[in-house]
Amino acid sequence: MAGSQKPYPRTTVKKIVKAHSNKSLSKNVDILIYLDYILFMQHLMREASISAKQAGEKNISARSIHKVTEDALRKFKG
């Protein structure tokens, strides 16, 4: 997607997780977390597009994403 650009804001992800867990992160966990996040996004968007199709929408609407969010989050719950 973005060749020269940095693939993702690593420090941001780190900060987010740090703030939520109140723990420090070991060296490369944030990458794993980000990968998991990508998986999550993939799953979310796939489900959302499916539900959007079912609802007969052209684009993915916010509503279809809302619908899917719960399940997706639950699926990615530890």
Partner 1 sequence: METDNPESSHHFPDETIRTPLINARYMAELIQRPVTPKHRGSSIGPGPSVPRPAFRTPTASRTIRQSRGGETAPLTPHALRALEKRRAAALTPGRARRRSGFVQRETPRDSLRTLSKLLARSTKPIEPSPKPPNLRTEEGLRLHIPEEFEKEADPPKPRVSLPLGEDDDDDDDDDDEPLPPPPQLSSEFDDDNYTIQSVEQPRRAASEQPFGRLSRASFGSLRLSDRFADLDDLSPGFGPGEDENMEMFQLRSEEILDSDPQYSDFQNMGMDDSLPLRDSPLGTRIVQAPRSSDIIPAIVPDGDEPSFAFELEQLPAEDFPFNNAEEESEAEDNAAGVIVPTPEIPNVGRKTRPIRMKRPLKVSKYGLEYPPLPPTLVRKLASTFSRVNGSSRVGIDKKTLDAVVRASDWFFEQISDDLGAYANHAGRKTIDDTDMVTLMKR
- Residue 10 is a binding residue for partner 1 (CB under 8 A): no
User: Is residue 53 at the binding interface for partner 1, with CB under 8 A as the rule?
Assistant: yes
The amino acid at 28 = N
Contact at 8 Å (CB) between 68 and 44? Answer: yes
Q: Is 51 in the site for partner 1 (CB under 8 A)?
A: no
- b/e sequence 48-69, b meaning 16+ C-beta within 10 Å: bbebbeeeeeeebeeebbebbe
Instruction: Examine residue 59 and tell whether it contacts partner 1 (CB under 8 A).
Output: yes
**DSSP state, 60?**
P
Does position 56 interact with partner 1 (CB under 8 A)? The reply is: no
8 A C-beta contact, residue 56 and residue 65: no
Least Å distance, CB 6 to partner 1, is: 10
Residues that bind partner 1 (CB under 8 A): 1-2, 8-9, 12-13, 15-26, 28-29, 32-33, 36-38, 40-42, 44-46, 48-50, 52-53, 58-63, 65-67, 69-70, 72-74, 76-78
